[in-house]
Amino acid sequence: MMKKYTFATIAVLLIAVGCNPKLYEPEIVVPEQYIYAVGSQRDSLALADDWWRMFGDTTLNTLIERALAVNRNLEVAVSRIEEARDNLRIASSEFLPSVDVGVSAGASGSGSVAQAYKILPTISWEIPLFGSLRYTSNAARANMAYAEWQWRGVRLSLAAEVATTYFTLLQYKRDYEIALRSSQLRKESAALIDSIFQRGMATGLNLERAKNLVYTAEADIPVYDRAIRQTLLSLNVLLGEMPDSADYANLGTRTITDYQPLVIPAGVPSDILHRRPDVMSAYWQMEQAAANVGIARSERFPSISLTAEGGRSSVKIGELFKGDSWYWSVLGSLAQPIFGFGTLRRKEMAAREQYRQSVLSYEQAYIEAVSDVESALVSIAAYRDETVRYRQLVESNMRVAILTSALYDNGLSAYLDVIDAERTLYDSQMQYSNIVAQQYINYVNLCKALGGGWVDVPQQR
């Protein structure tokens, strides 16, 4: 008898081991450092969850905080976390005993009538064997972690998009200011040339050239005005607000004019394996797929169900609660799939292919993440030198414009030189504001590529 029990125990253990699917691990090659992070700090953990405050712009801080508070897409992500938490509880409770109560009354007969009345509480339990409970719980837990990282990803993308839109808005506002100021100065210059022309001290060609400069600047003013208003509408969408015709006259551009380079710690390539939302989302999708393989495999093994019921049963309703009306029964069943035209095996094979797809997606997500960081670092390095050179160029062009105007006033320079100097200054000012705005966007892209700062997921309300 003891040998029979030993054999049965070994058989059950072998079956349990056999239902654990063997899956291969993803192949992630982690570089020691970023190629273009020379001179950068390596502690990316210093990046705070409110990383946008490093720009020192209170308006930007307010806009991002408003967006994070009311954006509908972020609310959807929060709701999905709550849904995943509920599903986790469901997954655990499905394998616990369930208790029901039934009340029945009936009659049947042929000539005479037989009555039956029952009040029967029922307990049923499908005993989880061969890892079915573990795999189901693991799948639900992975789904919840996936939802949490998706929320972090939406939050990071939203903050980055607001910041990018804001810096684009500042660029257009600065271009608008340059065009407006240049238009006013050129009008004054054209009026002076017209006065000189009336006295016969300037040619008609000089007057037309002066007017041409005015027209050039005035033509740019509505272009940038339209760009500003369209960008404001985009900002309204990110803030989860209806379109607003708010005036932008009070929008300051000191962030552009007083630009100072920032130092953002790049960290090491292994950091984004644990903090970048899209990489972590792909990881938890892979974990869920692995658990689904286990679920599919466990369906191919025996299942045991227990059902117990007990209560009162009587052929007369008046005797239902008398002492001799007790009734009970216990039923146990064992079911082993034998033949189903390969359905269960194919389900497992399909689950394995889904796992393989998730592994490849995880590997690809990491490759793209490292590439995003490298790309942002390259852009920052390139624009760092360009902003310095263009600031020097603007200052030089401004001095040239002042000196050329003074020489013309003293009859030592042709008016064509004044026009060239004005146009060169105007173009360099526009280009400088665009480069500065793009550098800020490069900083935003780097923060996003690094995964932003760590932030706790919303708790259950």
Q: What's the pLDDT tens digit per position in 354-396?
A: 999 999 999 999 999 999 999 999 999 999 888 899 899 988 9
Residue 415 has pLDDT above 80, yes or no: no
Domain-embedded: residue 385:
yes
Domain-embedded: residue 387:
yes
Domain-embedded: residue 376:
yes
* Predicted confidence band of residue 16 (pLDDT cuts 50, 70, 90): very low
For residues 235-250, give the mean pLDDT. 77
**CATH number of the domain residue 216 falls in:** 1.20.1600.10
More confident position, 414 or 173: 173
Which pLDDT does position 165 carry in this prediction?
A: 94
Task: Flag the least confident range among 110-114, 178-182, 248-252.
Answer: 110-114
Nearest to 118 by CA among 100, 105, 101, 99: 105
Please give the Cα distance from 449 to 437 (Å, whole number).
Answer: 18
Task: Flag the least confident range among 197-211, 214-228, 351-365.
Answer: 197-211
Nearest to 399 by CA among 410, 388, 407: 407
List all residues 6 or more positions away from 156 whose beta carbon is below 8 Å from its beta carbon: 277, 448, 451, 452
Domain-embedded: residue 329:
no
Domain-embedded: residue 90:
yes
For residues 343-362, give the mean pLDDT. 88
Please give the Cα distance from 75 to 23 (Å, whole number).
Answer: 36
**186-218: string of b/e by CB count within 10 Å (b at 16+)?**
bbebbeebeebbeeeebeeebbebbbebbebbe
Q: Write the DSSP string, 1-22.
A: -HHHHHHHHHHHHHHHHHTS--
Residue 58 has pLDDT above 70, yes or no: yes
Domain-embedded: residue 79:
yes
List all residues 6 or more positions away from 300 whose beta carbon is below 8 Å from its beta carbon: 19, 337, 344, 345, 348
Residue 271 has pLDDT above 70, yes or no: yes
Helices 132-198 and 277-298: angle between axes, nearest 10 degrees: 160
Domain-embedded: residue 456:
no
How many other β-carbons are positioned within 10 Å of the β-carbon of residue 277? 23
Torsions phi, psi of 358, nearest 5? -70, -35
Which pLDDT does position 17 carry in this prediction?
A: 45
* Predicted confidence band of residue 14 (pLDDT cuts 50, 70, 90): very low
* Predicted confidence band of residue 325 (pLDDT cuts 50, 70, 90): low
Query: What is the domain range of residue 368?
Result: 26-97+130-300+343-449
List all residues 6 or more positions away from 252 whose beta carbon is below 8 Å from its beta carbon: 59
Task: Flag the least confident range among 46-50, 54-58, 194-198.
Answer: 194-198
Domain-embedded: residue 1:
no
Q: How many domains does the chain have?
A: 1
Q: What's the pLDDT tens digit per position in 158-201?
A: 999 999 999 999 999 999 988 888 777 767 666 766 666 666 66
Query: How far is residue 261 from each of residues 55, 204, 256, 386, 451, measured CA to CA in Å?
Result: 10, 47, 11, 12, 21
